[in-house]
Amino acid sequence: MTTERGYTTGRARRERIIAAATALFGRVGFNSATMLEIAQVCEISRAGLAHHFPTKESLMEAVLETRDREDRERFRRNGSQGQDGIGILRGMVALARHNTEVGGIIALYAVLSAEAADPAHPAHDYFVQRYQRIRSGTAKALRDARAAGHLAPHVDEDRAAAELTALMDGLQLQWLLDPGSVDMAEALRRRIEELLVVPLGDEAGPRRP
């Protein structure tokens, strides 16, 4: 029982550290954030923080891995395993809608992706591979949609995948600067439906009217 309680406490503390790091990285960037600041927010010692994350790089990896895991689950709930590509496209809209509830995450990615343009940044390879993965996955979803007869004839899958990726990032930046100026999910939904010859359908979770 003691061991189980200790494991639960350790996991809760780890999650709290990741949440604190997410907020700080999103506010000041990876380069300006310090492990001491994160430890202070979590009310633990610097040594206690190092027990879970020995370096700032290892903490950043945990932050990014946590977001990726949550996103995969969101796509799964929207039918990403389907063969017609619609689940992936629907999942993109669900993700955009969810992101309006987690401004710190959007800020994190906006700041880190800009910093990571420097090849020396520890997240450089992560973001290069992330964008490659997103473009590749979106293009495959569009090709699957074509095979199922859902894609408009004029659409080039690879070009559209790059454009949708850029649209999502651009919408997120506009929303960060002025949340009331743009509805990210609906703007993305409209653009995706312009590529299809069938309705996209509802993503998981409530839609605003």
Mean pLDDT for the stretch of residues 86-103: 90
Q: What is the pLDDT of residues 115-165, one digit of tens each?
A: 999 999 999 999 999 999 999 999 999 999 999 999 999 999 999 999 999
Examine the pLDDT at 2 and tell me if it is beyond 60: no
Q: What is the pLDDT of residues 185-196, one digit of tens each?
A: 999 999 999 999
What pLDDT score was predicted for residue 207?
39
Mean pLDDT for the stretch of residues 91-117: 89
Q: Domain 2-195 class? A: mainly alpha
On whether the CB atoms of residues 119 and 175 are closer than 8 A, the answer is no
Question: 90 to each of 71, 119, 199, how far by Cα in Å?
Answer: 13, 33, 10
What pLDDT score was predicted for residue 77?
76
What pLDDT score was predicted for residue 78?
64
In sequence order, which ranges of 45-156 are alpha helices (DSSP H)?
Answer: 46-52, 56-77, 86-99, 103-115, 124-147
What pLDDT score was predicted for residue 188?
97
Mean pLDDT for the stretch of residues 100-120: 89
Question: 11 to each of 4, 35, 60, 102, 209, how far by Cα in Å?
Answer: 11, 19, 17, 22, 39
CB neighbours of residue 11 within 10 Å: 11
Measured in whole angstroms, the distance separating CA 177 from the mean position of its chain's CA atoms is 18
Q: How is residue 72 written in tokens? A: 């995969």
Q: Which residues pair with 151 in a beta bridge?
A: 196
**CA torsion through residues 117, 119, 121, 123, sign:** positive
pTM here is 0.81
Ranking 6-15, 98-107, 188-197 by mean pLDDT, the lowest is: 6-15
How is the chain split into domains, by residue range? Answer: 2-195
**DSSP three-state, residue 64:** helix
Q: What is the pLDDT of residues 36-77, one digit of tens each?
A: 999 999 999 999 999 999 999 999 999 988 888 888 887 777
Q: How is residue 203 written in tokens? A: 């993503």
Report how far apart the first and last C-alpha atoms of the chain are (Å, whole number).
49
